[in-house]
Structure 1
Amino acid sequence: MLRFFRRIRQNLLAEKKFTKYLFYALGEIILVVIGILIALAINNANQKRLTEKNEVTYLMGLKEEFQTSKLKLKELIAVNQDNYSGAKQILEYTGDPSATPSEEEFSKVLYSTFSTDIAFNPNNSLLQEIINSGNLKNLSDTELRIQLTNWISTIEDIRRQEEELGIQRIKVLDMFRTNDYSLRTIFEKAGVSESIGLPSTDVTESNLSLLDSKEFENNVLMFIITSYATEEVHYRPLMQDLDKILKLIDGTK
């Protein structure tokens, strides 16, 4: 087509028909511009379809990730509740001399309360990939983009809180690193020695004197306070964020 116009222009120049030459030259330019615009429109349409397809894929993957994270958080809240419930039971023992437990009862509550560390490990692999690749901007819902960005910083805050909870837990356990109290007694009386492969023994030292220790009571109390704050100030609001993100994902799909 352009060669056809070029031949006409050459003939017009040869015949010195400058006005017609200009019209044909202008027509050739217009054709080129129209061709470019059509190509751009096709390319933009293809890019839009690809972006929308990628968004659907991302949203499906994000929904699966956040549903899994929600289950993990729900289980973690339950574990944390069990831990500080056990710690409150210990405080009842320290606050009431008439409520002194047996060695077996005390060992079981100590083991169940302080044997499990608390750490939320959400499924963030796809979200991190989306953020690192710069594709977060391709999600059409502005509020969802904001929530996903805030999620990362919220998780960092929770990790710091969990570190503090871990410190309070270790302070209680450190009391068993001395000659005054016996971890072996806890394992034996709580019935876990065999399951972790420890040789059985009939000789056990009592840990009940811990109930008279103000240091032990203070450490348990700090553990309770930190456990409660972890749930109420961090885990509960995080669960609300999870529900909001899942709702936004469903609304965008």
Structure 2
Amino acid sequence: MRFFRIIRQTLLNDNKIRRYLVYAVGEIILVVIGILIALAINNVNQKHKIHKKEQVYLQGLRKEFQTSRIKLVELIKVNRSNLNGAKQIITFIGADSIPSEKELSTFLFSTLAFDIAFNPNNSLLNEMINSGSLKDISSDLLRIHLTTWISTVEDISKQEYDQELQRERVMSVLSGDKYSIRTAYELNGAINNQLGLPRMKKHTSNMGLLSSNEFENKLFLFISSAYATNVNHYQPLLEELDTIIELIDSELDN
């Protein structure tokens, strides 16, 4: 800046105060412009860094939510199988034609063998929420959906817990002294094919379940809970997953 000092000194020595003031103002303006340019460049760089960071987050979130969607779709299939099996058993109760022991075992197995529990991949989302990095997501709408996702999943788990209770109550009847879980599993092929246990020489019949009011009542409550899980919880959750994935895709660079 020696050049500018020489100019200022020359103007002062020549007693040209007015020109000196004009020059001083011009120099201040140049300095301000320089600062503004530097701030603008720094702002652009910061925005670029934030955008790059956001893209990394979006890529990770997209993978997480796609994996969660695959899990949910499979879980819906399992729960639908549980529901359909239970509904078929209900149709046997009081019907003119009754199923064979093997047919009943098949439906008992498909209804009661598998529990349900949605376990979404939320590791990155939880990390973002805990670290305050959710603010780096520029889309307000996406940020709202991500924020409410955790509470939505927690609500789903409460419904799943209720359904598991109903399932256990149905199982409690089947596991009593009169009936046999092993018969249901073995005649369905699960004992030999999956568990590797030897076959029984004589099976305890489960046909009496079809005339048990306790079994019918508990099975009906299980059907109601399984239906509510699919219709009131899983289907809306699947729609929410699709919405979040769509919003993420709209924010990702092509």
Q: Above 0.5 in TM-score?
A: yes
**CA drift at 1:239:** 1.4
Deviations, residues 37-77 of structure 1 (Å, cap 9, x unaligned): 44433322111001111122222222222222222222211
Please name the residue that 2:244 is paired with: 245
Asked whether the 8 Å contact 1:107–1:185 carries over to 2, the reply is: yes
Bigger shift: residues 36-45 or 58-67: 36-45
Give the aligned residue type for 1:61. Answer: G
Bigger shift: residues 57-66 or 103-112: 57-66
* 2:202 matches 1:207: no
How many residue pairs get matched?
A: 251
CA distance in 1 between counterparts of 2:122 and 2:32 reads: 46
**Once superposed, what is the RMSD of the aligned Cα atoms?**
2.6
Asked whether the 8 Å contact 1:130–1:136 carries over to 2, the reply is: yes
Give the aligned residue type for 1:190. Answer: N
CA distance in 1 between counterparts of 2:184 and 2:230 reads: 27
Deviations, residues 148-170 of structure 1 (Å, cap 9, x unaligned): 11111111111111111111111
Please name the residue that 2:80 is paired with: 81
**CA drift at 1:36:** 4.4
Please name the residue that 1:233 is paired with: 232
CA distance in 2 between counterparts of 1:176 and 1:218 reads: 13
CA distance in 2 between counterparts of 1:85 and 1:241 reads: 25
Bigger shift: residues 37-46 or 219-228: 37-46
Give the aligned residue type for 1:48. Answer: K
**CA drift at 1:138:** 1.6
- Uncovered stretches (5+) of structure 2, i.e. residues with no partner: none
**CA drift at 1:25:** 8.0
- Uncovered stretches (5+) of structure 1, i.e. residues with no partner: none
**CA drift at 1:99:** 2.4
TM-score if structure 2 supplies the norm length? Answer: 0.86
Please name the residue that 1:70 is paired with: 69
**CA drift at 1:131:** 1.7
Give the aligned residue type for 1:54. Answer: K
Bigger shift: residues 65-74 or 218-227: 65-74
